Structure 1
Amino acid sequence: MVLFEPQPTDEQQQQQQKEATKATSSSSSETTRGSTVAAVSENANGGDAASDGFETASERDVSDNEEDDRPGDQQPPQQRGPDSYQDALNDEQLKEKALAQANDAKTEGNNLFGNGQYQEALLQYEVALQVTAEMPSATEIRSICHSNRAVCFLKLVNYEETIKECNKALELNASYMKALVRRGEAHEKLEHFEEAIADMKKILELDPANDHARKAIRRLEPLAAEKRDKMKEEMIGKLKELGNSVLGRFGMSIDNFKAVKDPNTGSYSISFQN
């Protein structure tokens, strides 16, 4: 006997289709959720691969700190400069020592000069000048030593050196009267009477009551005038020689010409005499 399975009705078929569709949708959702969870888990556990080539904020902070901590990037501490106050104190001490040494040498030079040892005295004064070279505060002792060297040369009859040393002393102290007196004496010895008179006049400007300078001027002025006249005669004689050498070619001489002074104006006129 053949059995036939009863066919579902239309309503039953529609119900079965709905249930099948619902089951399929549920299965798809589970699959999707599983894939998503797996992806999230993979990202959480294997994120290093996904972040290659990128730097996070925390990584930058660590990197900066490490670079700052490297010895090569740190600046060395600045060295302290010299103590300017101590340097100034040392300079003053050196200057005081040099001045003390110069005074000792000058004193020794004075003692030697008093004993007539002029060459030895010159050396001591030179020592004083050397140790005080380039010292503005040593102007006084330097001018004295130059003047003392001048009088040593005066005693040694070396008048040119006397004048040179006096010039140096007066460059340091223009009103140093001893240097003016000694230079005036040296000029007189060399018959530089005009220069000697100028020195004596300078002394009178500084000390109008200086009787020595006044007497020296009265004594030197006639000598200066005599020297001027002598020099004038020598010059005229040389000019005559030169004139005669030229005029002789024409049969004449200087003697053919006479200079006549005008008493009113003091000028001269030249007249020819045959």
Structure 2
Amino acid sequence: MVVIEPEPREEEEKGRVNVTGEPKSKPSAKTTTEEAEPSHSAKSGAVDADDGFETASESDFNGGDDDHDPEQNQQQEEQPQPMPPTDDSLEAVSGEESIQKALAEANDAKVKGNRMFGDGQHEEALSEYGLALQVAPDVPTSVEIRSICHANRALCYLKLALLRRGEAHEKLEHFEEAIADLKKVLELDQSDVQVRRTIQRLEPLAAEKREKMKQEMIDKLKDMGNSVLGRFGMSIDNFKAIQDPNTGSYSISFQK
């Protein structure tokens, strides 16, 4: 049997390599392949990591598209947005409310004036109509109420004038003239009961005055006739007037 002993130099080199752990100057193909594989694995890991990031980003992006559709956003932007109220619109609303409130106050004053006019309180009715005209604004919606108030005021003034003139005629005992004025008042306001009562009270006085005036006129005519007939020896007493009951006319007969 032959024993081959290793050379001491080679063993020392091997022992030195193992102790220091330094790689050889020319690594083997297997070592190169093993070192290359981790690099490929790292690259694959990087690619996978990149793919995972991109997939998550696309998922997030797609999810955002579901929540925020560009076309829907555009339609929402194109829809007209309500404009906030401006100072002019607020002033217009406030002005309209003021007009409606003023018209309501004017109408209340007009109704109160009508009630006073019906009760014969013409001075108070004039005050209420004047208040309604002051409160009612000069706008197209107040034309009706303002025209009514002006007409009622004119009616009050005319009725007051006729009533006062009728009172003056009554104090002067011009009963016929007083009744004529009161009848004109009834033409303006047929519901005035007080005026009707006054007319009924004045009519007998007017009739009595007519009879009195007629008798005075007859007496004056007699005096004038006697003064004329006295020159001929006659008088009015020689003439007698007889009334016809059918026609109401008079026939005069001479008596000595």
TM-score by length of 1: 0.36
Larger Rg: 2
